[in-house]
Structures are given as C-alpha cells and as structure tokens.
Amino acid sequence: MKTVVITGSARGLGFNMARFFREYNYNVVISDLKEENLIKAKEQLEQTKSEGKIVYKTCDVSKLNEIKELMQFTLENFETVDIWINNAGVNQPQKAIWELSENEINTIIDVDLKGAIYGSKVAMEEMSKNHKGAIYNIEGYGSNDAHMLGLNMYGTSKRAVTYLTESLAQEADERNTGVIVGKLSPGIMITDFTTHSLVNDSIELSDKTKKVYNILGDTPETVGKFLVDNMVKNTKNNVKINWLTNGKAFMRFLTAGFNKRDFFGK
C-alpha cells in the first residue's frame, strides 16, 4: 500500500487531497499546526471509505526539525513514503511590500518558501535512499510572474517555489535519484486562505476581486480531485499539473454571463 504525506492538511486543499488519496487506498499522513484541527480532520476523513490508514502529526513547516520529525513519524507508521506534498501556506495581508512588518515578512517567507525548501530537502534525502518517490510543491500567485499590490510578498515566495521545484527536478535527474518532482498549480480556490492572511486575520475582498473569483475560482474539492487523479498516475519528472489552464480561464470569462456561481453570498 502506498503512503502520502501532506503538510498543512487540516483544511482546504490539503484536506481535500487527503480525502481523494484515501479513495485511492493510500495511507495518508495529515499534518498541520494545531492538534485539535487534525483530530477533527482525521474524524472527517475517516468517513471516506479506504483500505489505507490515516494518521496525523503536528508539524510547523517553518521548522526543519519538525519536518524531520514528521518524516520519522511516517516511517515508524509505514514502510516508505511514496508521495510528499509541501502544501502548507499562508496568504499575506493586503499591503504593499514596504508596509509589511518584519514579523509578517518572516512568516510569509518562512512558511511559503522555506517550508517548501525544508520539506523538499527532507523528502529527497529519504526518497533518494530508496530510489523512488515523488515530491510536489504548490505554485500560487506570482509563480507565473504576475504582480498585484497586496499579493507581491506571497508572490515572491511562490515565484521562488517554482524555481526551487524546477531546480530540484533537474538535480534529481542529474544525481540519478529515481525520485520525481513536480509542481501543482491549483488556480484560485475559495478557501480560508482566500479570505484570511497569516492563518487567521481576515481579508476584506473588493467587489471586483469577488467577481473575478466567482468566474475563475473553484472549491478545493474540485481542484483536489483533479490534482490527486493526476498525481497517482504521473511517472514523469518535472511535470506541472495545472488546473486553471489559459484555455480554461478564457472559456470562464467567455461564459461569465451564464455563470451563476456565488462563493461569497450576498
């Protein structure tokens, strides 16, 4: 039986990917900051029938030792790790770069960028010993070089995550590790992330932003299923599993007049 580890998986995309991996009978390791949220998530995930087991462990991805402990915990419960997903992330407050405090800057970089670096390091060290496994990092706003005031520090991290992931894939090949590396590009999902910065501070979305999100956005269930369906069958290194392709975005705008979706209520 295969095993997947997903960081930041008590809610949102991580939680939904865990759910669909259970449908594929994977053993699933969920992890997040707070134990109480993981207990609730585990209970909910157990409602999805699976031959795989589900276990949880708290892990702050901005701390390398906690990621190492998450790996250790996984190997104590299961034989190997087949897929490792660096999913944990925080949004930023809607401020210009220079308006962010030292603490805000550190949190964004530590979680969104260093979390992916640490997770990639620990997963690659372990997987390359066994000459198999897959590591996925999550792209986001900025990965494709877009700019918007209020998202640029987050975008700085995600732009770097894209470079990191492509570099890791190149090094995985060059060192003949047998490990594959890929990017997951989830587009726009309506999650707590969309309406909160730095885990719990709420963000007031403008009507214009809500309109765009209603056209281009999706639930984390829809996106999670797509990403998992593609990860379980992927055997190639350096892939990008991309939900919101340019073609899909174009069609969404073209048909926006018929679109009655309203993620935010009146």
Question: Interface with ligand NAD includes 113 (CB under 6 A)?
Answer: no
The helix/strand/coil state of 32 is strand
Question: Interface with ligand NAD includes 162 (CB under 6 A)?
Answer: no
- The site map against ligand NAD for 53-82 (x = CB under 6 A) is ------xxxx--------------------
Of 220, 239, 243, 252, the residue at the interface with ligand NAD (CB under 6 A) is 220
Question: Interface with ligand NAD includes 189 (CB under 6 A)?
Answer: yes
Nearest to 217 by CA among 262, 150, 153: 262
Distance CA 138, CA 101 (A): 25
Q: How many C-beta atoms surround the C-beta of residue 212 within 10 A?
A: 16
The helix/strand/coil state of 89 is coil
Name the active-site residue from 26, 136, 154, 213.
Answer: 154
In whole angstroms, how close is the CB of 51 to ligand NAD at the nearest point? 26
Question: Interface with ligand NAD includes 155 (CB under 6 A)?
Answer: no
Q: Between the CA of residue 192 and those of 54, 182, 203, 220, 238, what are the distances in Å?
A: 23, 25, 10, 10, 29
Write down the residue that tokens 């865990």 correspond to: 18
Decide if 154 is catalytic: yes
Question: Interface with ligand NAD includes 138 (CB under 6 A)?
Answer: yes
Question: Interface with ligand NAD includes 123 (CB under 6 A)?
Answer: no
- The catalytic residues are 154
